[in-house]
Amino acid sequence: MTETEGLFSDDAFDREPREVVPGVMHLPGWLTPRSQSWLARQWDDWGRGPIPPHSPLINGHPMSVRLTTLGWHWDSSGLAPRARHFDDAAPLPVPDWLVRWGRKAVQEAYSPSHGGSWPALSEKEVAAWAGDYTPDVVLINYYEPTARMGMHQDKDERSSEPVVSFSVGDTAIFRVGNPQTKSKPYRDIRLASGDLIVFGGPSRYMFHGVPRILPNTAPADCPVRSGRFNMTLRMTGWDKQ
């Protein structure tokens, strides 16, 4: 064994689309550098909207991430059409182009060409299913290099359609857990700038988290020079009326 062998997991080098566990698809480098720059500009614009980036309180303590939302507001009590802590402001809407990106992400992630075990549909069936995917809430979390996210489930939505997540900036260690418990079994993977991860089906309600950010790992041309943001798209299944 060489001096450096064993220092890195296979995940550090495996940059091909793959199924992490049934229902969880990881597509490295899915966003082009141009797409990442576009997302970063939009994120900056959204941050100047009616609900500024903020750290929600969980059990009286601020989260280490800063949150921006589209479509619906989120706090520790769940999703709401308005932000009670921000003068009852309504979030900016989810733009049509981001809905299209979400559909494309679902279609490509669950393409049978990637060999995933779920949902076991043909290309035509996946395309039809993805065409109905209409995310109406987007949560954007900015992680400073020291930020983290504890194990949790995305279960504020009534819909069980997949969660789509884009990453821009420094690499994050993403912990892929199980639907029953915050503890093991889980698996840690690296989400680099431009990576796409989609989780649905048997893993839609898995516990997941970000135990660590790897500082100074963003590409040289990445617009986010310190830390990273991830953008999650979901369908709520709720009616705002």
Cα gap 147→141, rounded to integer Å: 10
In a domain, residue 89? The reply is yes
Parent domain of 134: 15-234
Q: Is residue 136 part of a domain?
A: yes
Assess if residue 174 is contained within a domain: yes
Contact 16, 30 (CB under 8 A): no
Q: Read off the pTM.
A: 0.93
Whether 117 is in a domain gets the answer yes
Residue 85 marked as a ligand binder: no
- Could you tell me if residue 239 is inside a domain? no
End-to-end CA distance of the chain: 63
Mean pLDDT of all residues in the chain? 94
Consult the annotation and say whether 154 binds a ligand. Answer: yes
Backbone angles phi, psi at 125, to 5 degrees: -70, -40
In a domain, 60, yes or no: yes
pLDDT value of residue 4: 40
Q: Is residue 10 part of a domain?
A: no
193: CB partners within 8 A, 6+ apart = 31, 36, 167, 168, 169, 170, 171, 218, 219, 222, 224, 228
Q: Domain for residue 9, yes or no?
A: no
Q: How far apart are CA 20 and CA 144, in angstroms?
A: 26
What total of structural domains would you count in the chain? 1
Q: What is the pLDDT of residues 69-128, one digit of tens each?
A: 999 999 999 999 999 999 999 999 999 999 999 999 999 999 999 999 999 999 999 999
CA angle, corner 124, sides to 123 and 128, nearest 5?
Answer: 115
Whichever domain contains 67, its CATH number is: 2.60.120.590
